[in-house]
Amino acid sequence: MADDRTYKRGRKYTNDEITVYWKPDSCVHASHCYRELIDVFDPGRRPWVDMYGATTGEIIDTVNMCPTDALTWKWNDNGKNSDVDASNTNHVNYRRPELISADNDVSDINPVSVKVMSDGPLIINGSFIVRYNNNVKENTDFRVKIKSCTKLSG
């Protein structure tokens, strides 16, 4: 059975090959996870993640669709984590590097990440400073969702 032990500010689920981390306070309910792979990600079931409901490849592909760091993943064999390329956008190397250590839970490191969703919002996560109209606001664990009224091209 999948390991759904609680870690600071979220849960982790594992199968024999990968661990998926869920950070609920980062979720914007884009619903990619359960629309694409309901056998694994079913919000009506407890626990809501069944790591044995699909192949590891299908789980990785679906987690990589998450527009935020609400869902991230890593190989259980840490040697494989150094070879993951940037097309795996939600691998912990790119979204949550503080989780790469097998013994590490969640630290207060919040690198800034920006994800542009096709025909959707621009999502900015992390620790950053916002400056506008001579005002300054420092944010240490912040998520901003900017609605797009126009289609992005390029």
Mean pLDDT of all residues belonging to the chain: 79
Structure tokens that stand for 97 in this block = 């590097």
pLDDT confidence band for 139 (50 / 70 / 90): low
Please check the confidence at residue 35 and state whether its pLDDT lies above 80.
yes
Give residue-wise pLDDT tens across range 42-76: 999 999 999 999 999 999 999 999 998 899 999 99
Position 5 scores a pLDDT of 47
Residue 121 confidence (pLDDT):
72
Higher pLDDT, 17 or 107: 17
Q: What residues contact residue 22 under an 8 Å CB cut-off, 6+ apart? A: 10, 11, 12, 13, 49, 70, 71
